[in-house]
Each structure stands twice: as structure tokens, then as C-alpha cells.
Structure 1
Amino acid sequence: MFRSLELSRMAQAMATHAAKRQSVISQNVAHADTPGYRAQDVHPFSDVYGTTPDRLTLRTTHEGHLPGRAAPGFAAGLRAVDRSAATGNVNGNSVSLENEMVQAATTRLSYETALGVYSSLRAITRAARGG
């Protein structure tokens, strides 16, 4: 039971990571013609999963307040990438539309994998409940 909860959290974090990465990729595509724009990407999921602190630092305004707990997940920081080595953009832009499309397809597969895991866990939970 507890193992499936961790798998559920991991699937949720993986889907969130894929959504964040897709957003960054779309931003790169939108700036494909912007002179000097540096393409960005999020760190790989395997590097960032579980990196959020277990404890939040919350401001307590009353002595009876309880400390909060962070949900397990990831901290997806951005990093600059240079995918334009093959295209050789003369305006200093590091975006390659072909590479961004490949990254978008890979990210879509990651998102679908996370949803597949989550869906399977939901089906197992329903079967265990007898429904």
C-alpha cells in the first residue's frame, strides 16, 4: 500500500516535470528568431526527483501554528542548453527548431508514461477495493 503511494507521488512528479519541460520547450520555439536568445531546458527528472526539502519554512504568526510539510516531488531548475551547433545561427540564438521538436516528442512520451503508471495504480486500487 505504501509503496503504491510512493509510485503515485512519483508518477505525479514525473507528469509535472514533463509539463514544465513542455512549457520551456514551447518558450524556446517562440523565441527561435530572437537575436541572442539562449535556449533553456529543465534538469533531467532522474537528477531532480526527491530534491525538495522535507520541511517548509513557514512564517508562523501564532504560537499554535504547526510546521508545514512539503509534498515530495522535484525542484525543476532551468539550465541553458545549446542545441544549435548543427545549424550555426549567426544571430547568437541557440534554438534549433528541429531539436526542439525532438525534445517535445520525447517529453510527450514521458508524460504519457507517467499517466500510464498513474492509471494502472488507480486500476489496481479499484480492484483491491472490490470495485
Structure 2
Amino acid sequence: MAVTDMPLLSMLRTRMQWHQTRQKLIAENVANADMPGFRPRDLAPLSFDRASGQPSATGPGLTLTSAGHIAPTGEAGAGIEARRSKGFEVRPSGNGVNLEEEMMKSGDNQTDYQLAASLYQKSLDALKIAVGKR
């Protein structure tokens, strides 16, 4: 097993990838703030299964209980959902993007990404110390 395949590092890597994908969606929402009829999208929250450390779906879903089972295939946009906009947030053109809200989400997302990246780096540093490479 490679050092980078450890469950903690794998979870942090998955978390950072989730934040990167979310940042792309937030940027897409901001870029389309003036497009008539555009509905903002966001990622479903990421959670991990406590037993296996693997990302788990937020809702009920299919689980593989045997190696012989066929894995369910997801859509290209699995985990991406259209955010429900309240009636007063939708402009007359049908656009539901609230720029202030998107900027707040972008800042929070950036902070969370930096935290995960810092934890990842600190974990690698601790492993190097344990092995005696540092």
C-alpha cells in the first residue's frame, strides 16, 4: 500500500477535489448572472462513511454488498443539483443568481479548501518525520 493511499490522505484528497468542483460551479453561476432563465447550481454536501472512509451519498442509494454486484452508474453531473431559489430572488428575466450569496459561498469554499490542503500537507510532514526522512 502506498503512503498516499492511507484513508486519511484519501479523504483529504477527495475533499479537495470536491471543493475544486464546487468552485467551478460557483464560478459558472457568477459568469451566468446576467443570462435570462439561468438557475444556479451547487454540489450536494460531501460526507464520508465512518466505517470505510469512502465518500457516501447524502441520500439513500445503492450499496455494493458483494464483489459480484454490478456498481451503479451515475450521471455525468452526479451530485450536482439545481438550488431552489425563493420567489423574490428570481429576477423578471428568470435568472436566480444572487451574486452576494455566490461570493460568500466562494469565500467559504476557498477557506475550507485551504484547510484540507493544510491538513494534507501536515499529515505528509508527520509521515516523513515518522519514517525519518526529515
TM-score by length of 2: 0.71
Q: Which residue of 2 aligns with 1:51?
A: 56
Shift of 1:76: 5.4
Give me the identity figure in percent.
27
Equivalent-residue separation in structure 2 for 1:83 and 1:120 (angstroms): 39
Q: Which residue of 1 aligns with 2:12?
A: 11
1:42 pairs with 2:43: yes
Equivalent-residue separation in structure 1 for 2:21 and 2:97 (angstroms): 18
1:44-82 Cα deviation digits (max 9, x unpaired): 122796238777969xxxxxxxxxxxxxxxx95111114
Q: Which residue of 2 aligns with 1:121?
A: 123
Contact 2:47/2:56, CA 8 A, preserved across alignment: no
TM-score by length of 1: 0.73
Deviating above 4 A after TM superposition, structure 1's stretches of 4 or more consecutive aligned residues are 52-58, 83-88
Shift of 1:108: 0.3
3-state SS of 1:22 partner: helix
Give the partner amino acid of 2:18.
H
Q: Superposed, which structure 2 residues align to 1:1-131 within 5 Å? A: 5-46=6-47, 50-51=55-56, 77-82=79-84, 87-131=89-133
1:69-122 Cα deviation digits (max 9, x unpaired): xxxxxx951111145666441111110110000000011011111101101111
3-state SS of 2:47 partner: helix
Aligned alpha-carbon RMSD (Å): 3.0
Give the partner amino acid of 2:125.
A
Q: Which moved more, 1:117-126 or 1:80-89?
A: 80-89
Equivalent-residue separation in structure 2 for 1:122 and 1:20 (angstroms): 24
- Aligned residue pair count: 113
Give the partner amino acid of 1:43.
A
Q: Which runs of 5+ in 1 are unaligned?
A: 59-74
3-state SS of 1:89 partner: coil
Q: Are residues 90 and 28 of structure 1, via their aligned partners in 2, closer, same or farther at CA, if it must alter by over 3 Å?
A: same
